[in-house]
Structure 1
Amino acid sequence: MDNRKMRRILLTVAISSLAFLFCTAQPVVRTTIDKSEILIGEQFKLKVQANFSGDDYFIKWIALPDSMQHFELVEKSKIDSVFTNQKLSGLTQSFTLTSFDSGKWTFPSYNINFNPAKDDTTITMFTDSLPVTVSFSVADTTSALKDIKAIKEVEVFNPLWYWVAGGALVILLLALLYWWYRTKKKGKKPAQSVSKLSPFEEAMQEIDKLKNFNLSEPKDIKQYHTKLIEIYRQYLSRKENTDYSNKTTGDMLIAIKSNYAATDILDKSAAALRFSNAVKFAKYIPLPSDSENNQQLIKDTIKLIESSPSK
């Protein structure tokens, strides 16, 4: 075989080998950090990038633990995919790390596995081991030195005035408490004595006392109707064991309608209450006979309640 023929064979083999290598390019892993020197507790970023053909390899990505010797993982980004001509051509991910150990350390390497799609042999590649120096903050030697200040004498503190002020404050508080107690005691209403009479008997007795009022005097007329309504409220309160003293006229009528089936009770109550309210609030001056009729209306209503069953 001559030399020319041998050269042709070798050239064909070389071209075929190169074509095979280009068709099945080996994966490439790159590792970079943005800082090789940090202060204790300062953060730095580690970036891992893998270039490979997505059609030829299935990749098992790097698994970085949360805590490593001399380093702590603070945060990790999502894994970003890189596409070339609409085909997967790589993966990249960033990690934020820090360290609390001073010294010169080497960040460990971690493996990435590439499983060929047409072969059973797994390709294992490793990230770079990168040096990182962790140090304390550097002291500022550029600032000018300052003079040593003279020793100050300790001021003698006399707490007497604090005791005087505290005592005066206590006396003031006691005086306010005493004033408040006396004011509350004066304004407190005496407890009402419980009548031995029945609600009906007490109401009739109190209505009979109304004859002492002079129904020709406007002042007595107002007091007469005020007392008349109070007697009716007191009767209902004792009869139903419910406090009617603070109820409005509307609330009283609603309660009466709910508690008694007879409609006459509601009608008579409404007429009597509205008439007395006109005298109390509208300054209406009725005739003596009208006031006496309203008293009789209240008396009849109470008698009707006594003889009517409740709901």
Structure 2
Amino acid sequence: MQKSTIVKSIYLFVLLGYVLCPFRLFAQDRFDVRASADTDRIRIGEQVKLELTARVDPGKLKEAGLQMVFPSLPDSFNHWEVVDRSALDTVTSAGTQEQLLRQTLTLTSFDSGRWEIPALKFEMIAASGSVDSAFSAPIGIDVNTVAVDTTKAFKPIKTIRTVAWSIWDYWLYMVIGAAVVLLALGLWWYFRRRPAKAPAPPPAPLEPAYDRTLRQLKALEAEKVWQAGNVKEYYSRLTDILRTYFEEQFGIAALEQTTAELLQNIKPVTILNQQRDKLRALLSLADLAKFAKLQPTPEEHADSMQKAVEIVEWTKPAARPAETPDAEGLKQKA
């Protein structure tokens, strides 16, 4: 008696769980799936449209935490091949809360016979991972061969036919070729008729440091700078002309050195060291005029210019003797 009571209780709980299961309720009330084909017969290689639909209530789906998953068919199954798959389309019914989910598959078959598209599984997946399924009804489709009239004689294979040549088939290539030829002719004509460039004038010979220094000293003297009361400017320009000459002629960094450093560094230059006393007197007087506000006499101004000219003249580079034919013959004999 007790065993019978236990069996009845277990049966009752199972029945209640089955009835109260949200999947079952949803599947019975709001889960309607279908699979339909646009034809029930095709010829080999023709296509058939298979439409999959599911009518659901999105409010119920959201409330139950469920997600609808359409069937996933392989590219080839049971004598059928999937040619194309459309995207999942959603249509909302007017005046109701229901939605129609729809997808169209394009199938074909290359085997003659009656082949069945099996029942397709639609799944409802809960957030917890539980899955409930609904299946569509299977669909049978006849795949027929092409009718051949065997009473007629077989025709021979036709020979290869040649297509008549037409110049218009190559018009694009001819236009491109003509454009290239015209471009080449235009470039040739342009370069042929273009006036030749006049040769650039030869660069003016550089003025020797000796000549330039004498010219600058004469220009300074002609400006009468100290006569106008600009004693400091006069001695600054005079010493700068000499220092620049020393740098170019003897390679001494005269512009960056003091008077004492310059007098010390001219010792290795014998020809310049011979004018050491004149140079010392000139630089010393210039330093006093520039930095100590000394006012030299007119005679001292003129004497400073004279000393500068004598120093430059004394250090004038020796002229290179011109080679005569006799001298070249002596060199060759040697």
Indicate the TM-score class for this superposition, using the shorter chain for normalisation: 0.3 to 0.5
Q: Tell me the TM-score normalised to structure 1 length.
A: 0.38
Larger radius of gyration: 2
How high is the TM-score relative to the length of structure 2?
0.36
